[in-house]
Structure 1
Amino acid sequence: MQDQGPSPRKRTGGRRRRQNKRKKHQLGRLPTETQLGEPRFRVIETRGNTKKTRALATNVASVADGGDTVEAEIEDVVENPANPNYVRRNIITKGALVETSEGTARVTSRPGQTGQVNAVLVE
């Protein structure tokens, strides 16, 4: 895992030396990569005494069509601009196009962060 923060390189291309050791809060985590399947969740503790619910797998989406929202079943991942490989592996991320029982929808939430899939129908 790589820690977050400024780039280790200067504008000129030279390397910057670290001023201090890496701190625990600077470390990131591996991506969740929510899969299509029977719903599975994991609760992780984050900074500030809060928790995140990560969706490891899900097959349900809240699909918005204009004013009303319907809970629909996800059937397939059609397109994923984040990574073309994710379509073959049926991984759901924000921006992915999914085929639902209501029609084709674009995912607007981050399932690996919020634990739910919110989507908007695509005409």
Structure 2
Amino acid sequence: MCDSNNVDKPLNLSYLEKISGTNTKFIITTIDLFNSHVPKLMEEIEDAIALQNWDKIAFLVHKMKTSFGYLGREDIIEDLLEIEQFALTKVGVANIVFCFGHVKASINKLSAQLIHYKNQLAN
């Protein structure tokens, strides 16, 4: 079940750099989109968890998964898949809360890493 060891995973933007051709403007735009889009989704997921709205949880985490592949965080995708399966099978809110706590910590760390990386690019 959701791995808490991934929270401090180092930033790996090699895929993003590859698809962008190391285009700094593209990378910065991608980081900005991530940092504006994902926190809103996280809030919506937290609200859906509080309401035990299984279908909405599954929909939102499915939607969120696409944000992490190009940022080298397949581990977060795996955790989101697990949450999605819990929601689809209505396994219980405790499992979802546990996993989402790990996902949220990983995303918060990733967001801070991305901001730091973006600031380095801008200088």
TM-score, with structure 1 as normaliser:
0.22
- Relative contact order, higher structure (CA 8 A, sep 6+): 2
Q: Which has the higher strand share?
A: 1
The structure with more helix, counted as a fraction of residues: 2
